[in-house]
Structure 1
Amino acid sequence: MSTLAPSPAPAVPTPARWNRPLVALAAAMAVLAVVTAVLAVVDPQRVLGQNAWFKPLKFALSIGVYALTLAWLVGLPGLRRPRVAAGAAAVATAGLVVEIVVIVWAAATGTTSHFNVSTPLHRTLFALMGVSIVVVWVVTLVVGLLVFRTPLPDRARTFAVRAGVVLGLVGMALAFLMTSPTPEQLDDFQGVAGAHAVGVPDGGPGLPFVGWSTTGGDLRIGHFVGLHALQVLPLGLLVLEAAGRRVAALRDEGVRFRLVAVAVAGYAGLVALLTAQALLGQPLLQPSPVVLAVAVGGAVGLTGLAAGALRRGR
């Protein structure tokens, strides 16, 4: 009795044309990352307990990766309404330029960019940043809707890209949890409205470079993880496809699809858990027994589902 060999993984979709404004923005962010990394070494100035240049460095890296991802999405072959996508890309580029300019200016002047409403100038700049991020979120939503109508080579690829867009939008939206004034700020206004940390003031002890609080909750963690689902899930699918050269079960489209579904469920659960942990005021590395039990139970369950998907492939 003969059996049919699983079909090979489809080739990676190459953009019909890379969006020039986004590619130029990504290149500029690569240069800015190098410059700010050097400044972080030679300039010891600190803002909220951290090197002042770490923030523009982190944002340069994040914006550069986002710009390349969006350039890839809007250039996908067969994307519906390519002119709308190109226009959305141009708007996103402008919004991100506004944000990074304000962040670099704040670092250069030794002040904070986010939540700073201490003067009319700072209020205006913070409001401008807020508008620019809302615009970028809407643009990502528009591109995501176009991607949902674009057929990709197989179900696993389609699911990974679409889920990455959805979770990326959720991660971006989580940033708005940081914009509400804390009770302490309302009781004693000092020109700051909003905070990253929960249960402790911003600027306390934090993890190296990223600065995530080690004494309280930190809403940036769930925001960061969710935002980068745009890259993690599609890249994870490409890793599965590459591993299919050695693991026969991964050459089956159904197996890859089920593994992607497990990964999406796990990723969504991780974003939710990290956000809940932060809102409870718990540091990332000091979870409560309940949070730890949920994390371990989820990991065990997802591992079992992944193993089951592989067994079905065999």
Structure 2
Amino acid sequence: MSLLETNLPAVPAPSPTQFITLTVVAIVLAALSILWGFVDPRLIEGVPVWMKPLKFALSFALLFGTLALVETRLSAPAREGWTMQITGWVMAAAFLSEMAYMMYQAGRGEASHFNLSTPFTELMYTTVMAIGAVALVVGTAVVGWVAKRDQAAALSPALREAIWLGFLLTFVLTMIVAGYMSVGSTRFVGLHPEGAPTLPLVGWSGVTGDLRPAHFASLHAMQALPLLALWLGRAGEANGAVRTIRIAAFGYATLTFAIFAQALMGLPLIPLG
């Protein structure tokens, strides 16, 4: 019997909660980006113009899907309370505004990130998108805090701790890494010549420092630690599971900072040339 099945309140039946709705919207936007990509062959810096909206839509789908899984395990008072409702609306506004701008820029064949070419694009990137990004990671931490405090939630002690620490790490680490990225004019630390080798699928530089691997790690602490808690539950590791999660959280943060430091030294995550 797993940690999730021992002395836990019954899991409420899934319902169309706010985060489930946002997950569906993100999936629809990802599908639209794929379809438009088939009929719009334009490139930005050698990358299809609709790749950016596609990647972000998929990332949002994973974010909101994770939040939805937590939301459905909360008790009704916590799930329906003002804290969760306001957090959901704020995150929805940030998500929709960011996706709208990225898709608008893709339609124009222009970059949405690191684009300071006009007062409008500078305002959107440095202010609107920056505020939206902060709102999204703050909202993630708030959901983790609600799960931590909701003692009636259908969560084992280890999973509760993993959600709280994972969501908190996503907030803290993303603020550090993404905050550093936002003040620069490029994602690279050093020179990445056009046509230089990159890692398959993700496109990270194989020849110079790239801040995106650390950003990726910071964003996905919120999935990594809860997955570890679920694995511990399946393995029947009840004793010391909370302590294991705390040690793993420290290790995950250390690894993320190591990847970040490697990029700052101008070194690729995996050298390719």
* 2:216 aligned to which of 224, 247, 260: 224
Q: 1:72-108: CA deviations, max 9, x gaps?
A: 3344126388222111111111111101111111122
Q: 1:18 to 1:111 in 2, by over 3 A?
A: same
**Which amino acid is 1:23 matched to?**
I
Which residue of structure 2 aligns with residue 70 of structure 1?
67
Deviation at 1:14, TM superposition (A): 3.7
**Larger-Rg structure:** 1
Q: How does 1:263-278 map to 2 (within 5 A)?
A: 263-278=248-263
- 8 Å CA contact 1:71–1:89 kept in 2: the answer is no
- Aligned residue in 2 for 1:211: 203
Q: Please give the TM-score of this superposition, normalised by the length of structure 2.
A: 0.84
CA distance in 1, matches of 2:193, 2:35: 25
Contact 2:20 2:68 in 1 (8 A): yes
**What residue is the counterpart of 1:247 in the other structure?**
none
**Is 1:85 paired with 2:84?**
yes
1:146 aligns with 2:146: yes
Counterpart CA distance in 2 for 1:144 and 1:227 is 14
What is the total number of aligned residue pairs between the two structures? 262
1:10 correspondence with 2:4: yes
Q: Which residue number in structure 2 is paired with residue 52 of structure 1?
A: 49
Quickly say closer, same or farther: Cα 1:204–1:105, change in 2 above 3 A. Answer: farther
Question: Over residues 225-262 of structure 1, what are the superposed CA-to-partner deviations in whole Å (9 max), with x where a residue is unaligned?
Answer: 111111221123213323x2xxxxxx241143344344
Distance change >3 Å, CA 158–CA 31, structure 1 → 2: same
- CA–CA distance in structure 1, aligned partners of residues 150 and 96 of structure 2: 28
Deviation at 1:128, TM superposition (A): 1.3
**2:174 maps to which residue?**
172
Which residue identity does 2:114 align to in structure 1? F
- Structure 2 residue 199 is matched with structure 1 residue 196: no
Distance 1:231 1:256, change over 3 A: same
Deviations 1:97-141 (A, max 9, x none): 101111111122111111211112212221211121122233233
Structure 2: which 5+ runs fail to align?
A: none
Is the Cα contact below 8 Å between 1:33 and 1:60 reproduced in 2?
yes
Structure 2 counterpart of 1:139, one-letter code: G
TM-score by length of 1: 0.74
What is the letter of the counterpart of residue 9 of structure 1? L
Q: AA paired with 2:100?
A: V
Report if the CA contact (8 A) 1:212-1:220 is conserved: yes
- 2:164 and 2:220 mapped to 1: Cα distance? 13
- The answer to whether the 8 A contact 1:74-1:89 is kept is no
Displacement of 1:203 after TM fit?
Answer: 6.3
- The share of aligned pairs that are identical, in percent, is 34
CA contact (8 A) 2:33 2:50 kept: yes
**Distance in 2 (alpha carbons) for counterparts of 1:276 and 1:171:** 13
Amino acid at match of 2:182: T
Runs of 4+ in 1 over 4 A off after TM superposition: 15-19, 201-204
Whether the 8 Å contact between 2:3 and 2:233 is mirrored in structure 1 is yes
Deviation of the 1:57 alpha carbon: 0.9
Whether the 8 Å CA contact 1:161–1:233 is kept in 2: the answer is yes
Q: Secondary structure at the match of 2:4?
A: coil
Could you tell me which amino acid in structure 1 is paired with residue 252 of structure 2? Y
Give the residue type in structure 2 aligned to 1:150.
D
Q: Which amino acid aligns with 2:178?
A: A
Inter-CA distance 10–140: structure 2 relative to 1 (3 Å threshold): closer
1:233 aligns with 2:225: yes
Residue 129 of structure 2 corresponds to 129
Shift of 1:145: 2.7
SS where residue 207 of structure 2 aligns? coil
- 1:99 aligns with 98
Distance 1:204 1:136 in 2: 33
Q: Which amino acid aligns with 2:223?
A: Q
